[in-house]
């Protein structure tokens, strides 16, 4: 049986991951309105990933005979005016999610819940990749975003991204 504090943190993470999906759909909407279908595609795929992350936490809880409480998902409130705004907000959000994962990990370690720490190992690695991707997008936008041809090429690069479901085995 999982520790009550760990369960509460895992349960909260389900809801935080669904919020992340909403946030990234909001970014996708922003870029669609700007005519940047590639950027919109990038964030639609990010939203799919976040929904899958939520479901991984959901299933892990159920696999351990724990109930899941779904909460209301808050409306994203990122102010977006410039093309760079969602990119910077995404990096800040991924850093926030990394902190959340680390807190769950620390709580599981504290009670020697090795099963949960092993489950979270994949998320620790994933968050490193998410932060790197967010940083890379910011760097590319800084390098090429002010040039219309460069922005066009970057948008096309992001349009080529396809969804790949996570390969975590529960």
- The arithmetic mean of pLDDT across residues 65-87, rounded, is 96
Per-residue model confidence (pLDDT) at position 116: 98
Alpha carbons 31 and 124: distance in angstroms, whole number? 29
Q: What is the pLDDT of residues 93-151, one digit of tens each?
A: 999 999 999 999 999 999 999 999 999 999 999 999 999 999 999 999 999 999 999 99
Helix, coil or strand: residue 68: coil
Question: Which tokens is 107 given?
Answer: 């709580």
- The arithmetic mean of pLDDT across residues 24-32, rounded, is 98
Per-residue model confidence (pLDDT) at position 164: 85
Domains and CATH numbers, the chain: 4-159 (1.20.1260.10)
Q: How confident is the model at residue 58 (pLDDT cuts 50, 70, 90)?
A: very high
Between the CA atoms of 28, 34, 37 and 43, what dihedral angle is there, to the nearest 10 degrees? -20
- DSSP string of 53-75, one letter each residue: HHHHHHHHHHHTT----PPPPPP
Is the sign of the CA dihedral 107, 76, 72, 53 positive or negative? Answer: negative
What's 147's DSSP letter?
Answer: S
């Amino acid at each position: 049986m999982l520790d009550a504090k760990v369960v509460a943190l895992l349960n909260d993470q389900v809801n935080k991951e669904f919020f992340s999906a909403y946030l990234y759909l909001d970014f996708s909407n922003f870029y669609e309105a700007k005519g940047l279908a590639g950027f919109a595609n990038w964030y639609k795929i990010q939203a799919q990933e976040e929904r899958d992350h939520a479901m991984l936490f959901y299933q892990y809880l159920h696999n351990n005979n724990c109930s899941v409480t779904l909460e209301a998902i808050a409306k994203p409130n990122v102010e977006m005016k410039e093309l760079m705004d969602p990119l910077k907000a995404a990096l800040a959000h991924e850093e926030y999610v990394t902190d959340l994962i680390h807190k769950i990990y620390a709580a599981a370690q504290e009670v020697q819940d090795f099963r949960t720490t092993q489950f979270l190992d994949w998320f620790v690695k994933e968050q490193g990749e998410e932060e790197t991707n967010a940083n890379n997008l910011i760097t590319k936008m800084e390098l090429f975003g002010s040039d219309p041809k460069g922005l066009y090429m970057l948008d096309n690069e992001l349009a080529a991204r396809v969804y790949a479901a996570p390969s975590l085995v529960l």
